[in-house]
Amino acid sequence: MFELRRDPVTGWWSAIVTDRTFEHASFVVQATPIEGTHCRHCDDDPTPSADAAEETAIRRVTLRQDAFHRIDTGQERTGQLSVEQAMAASGSWEILVAPREHHERLADAPPRLAVNLLRALRDTMREMAAEPRPDDEPRYIQAVQSYGMQAGSRSSHLNMELYSIPQVPHWVAEEIGGGARYVIKTRSCVWCSLARSEEESGERLVLAEERFVVFAPAASRSAFELMIVPRAHAADFTTLDDDDIAAATATLQRTLGALDALGDPPYNLFLHTAPVGERLDETFHWHWEVHPRLRVIAGLERATALAVNPAAPEYAAGLLREHLGKGSV
Ligand SMILES: [Zn+2]
Ligand SMILES: [Zn+2]
Ligand SMILES: [Zn+2]
């Protein structure tokens, strides 16, 4: 029934259904729109309405200055964390918003606006990375886009969220460790190797572009999960120049557009990049991950943290390729 597959980076196992005929219709899910009579991002936009249509500038809005407080429960058993310690280990929550009235999906945004959003993302991440922090304090800046209520979105306004976290999150830490182990074993980067081998074999390949390779990971943790890997080896997304950003945006828009094969599915898009100030030039390789939110997490997954994926990535990639093929003819 399930094929157990191990992720080549993290070493995490997934249980993947591979041995049955997949019904396309069973994966079709519509994103639930965010209800509300008015949009705070439209309301807060200072641009006069008359100019709004032509506007492609991205606004940076700080939602919470001190969104995260790290409390090390092992060391701070009493719960008496001093103010300095708490302040030292706090992080912010920011959002980058498109101009007024832009409630379209990232896939459908005018290319110039989409490029500006990614450029603003890079620039904001650079600024956040430059903010002062104690020497030994880790800092990870997580960029996320959530589309549809099922994905936890709070606004239908085109946006990208940024979380500055005083901790390297578990998932990223596992990827960093996995990347380093792979280099020790093979003297090469696991993401560079994956991009090459997935393109060569082609069975899980969705897009092979000039600067990016998009594929469904062999041990996908969720149905129709996609990995967007730049061909050029680089650990840190914020080192991209404007040319790279334009190429990254085009690939991202095409990739998200491919999900229309599933209707208009809710998804989480996230960036995995090197933590602030960490020199991982050899061992890490930045990438995007797209996780469509097609179903709820069930008991076995909660109980074991073993991902259960009802769609073989080979099937998922085939369906998305077919959809992209239709669009371009
Ligand atoms: Zn709005
Ligand atoms: Zn690489
Ligand atoms: Zn990743």
* φ, ψ dihedrals at 169, nearest 5°: -60, 150
Q: What is the pLDDT of residue 329?
A: 45
Domain spans, the chain: 2-20+40-47+56-328
Give the max Cα distance, the chain: 65
pTM for the full predicted model: 0.92
CB atoms within 10 A of CB 34: 15
DSSP type of residue 132: -
Looking at the chain, the whole-number percentage of residues with pLDDT higher than 90 is: 70
> d(Cα 313, Cα 198) in Å, to the nearest integer?
12
**Is the distance from CB of 40 to CB of 155 less than 8 angstroms?**
yes
Q: Which ligand is nearest to the CA of 193?
A: 2
Rounded to the nearest angstrom, the distance between the alpha carbon of 272 and the centre of ligand 3 is 5
Q: In the predicted model, what is the mean pLDDT of residues 276-283?
A: 93
Least confident piece of the model among 22-36, 113-127, 188-202, 304-318: 22-36
Tokens linked to 191: 């993401």
Q: In the predicted model, what is the mean pLDDT of residues 176-195?
A: 97
Rounded to the nearest angstrom, the distance between the alpha carbon of 198 and the centre of ligand 1 is 39
Residue pLDDT, tens place only, 104-151: 999 999 999 999 999 999 999 999 999 888 777 889 999 999 999 999
* φ, ψ dihedrals at 126, nearest 5°: -65, -45
Q: In the predicted model, what is the mean pLDDT of residues 249-267?
A: 97
Rounded to the nearest angstrom, the distance between the alpha carbon of 186 and the centre of ligand 2 is 12
44: Cβ–Cβ under 8 A, 6 or more apart, which residues?
A: 61
Band (66; pLDDT cuts 50, 70, 90): confident
**Is the distance from CB of 228 to CB of 290 less than 8 angstroms?**
yes
Q: Which fold has domain 2-20+40-47+56-328?
A: HIT family, subunit A (3.30.428)
